Amino acid sequence: MVLWSRSCNPGTAENPQQEATQAIIYEAEKAAILETINEETKAAFNRDYEGWREKWVHKPYVAKTYMEFPDSTFSESLGWEAIDQFVKDYIEAHPEPAPIPSLVDDINVQLYGNGAWVSYDQN
């Protein structure tokens, strides 16, 4: 999961034009988030460490959780330093590019203040 940092407050529209503008902003933000998720995935599987890093917010509050549904396990990294080190170590240990999985085409997005809560499934 990528924590995205942009500013958009959907709020409550007071008129139809404002509501239409908010819908356009929401769709643009959602598209930008989806693009970032997919570019981050491509960089990771291509073992492009710098390209991968560019897609993340480098702050202590970011979190990365991976769930393995077949065996019901998951791993979680909290904070940019932990996430960065985990991926750096992984790429160094596994430098050969891997096949890129199916990219994400559907995400659930809730925008708030300067951020967004994003959830999606990726196989």
Cβ neighbors of 10 (< 8 A, separation 6 or more) are 22, 25, 26, 111
Work out the pLDDT band at 12, boundaries 50, 70, 90.
low
Q: Tell whether pTM > 0.75.
A: yes
% of the chain surpassing 70 pLDDT: 89
User: Of the ranges 8-12, 27-31, 93-97, which one carries the lowest mean pLDDT score?
Assistant: 8-12
List, for residues 34-76, the tens digit of each pLDDT value.
Answer: 999 999 999 999 999 999 999 999 999 999 887 777 888 888 9
> Is residue 109 predicted with pLDDT exceeding 60?
yes
pLDDT for 99: 95
> Is residue 107 predicted with pLDDT exceeding 60?
yes
Give Cα separations from 94 to 27, 48, 88, 99, 108 (angstroms).
36, 12, 10, 13, 31
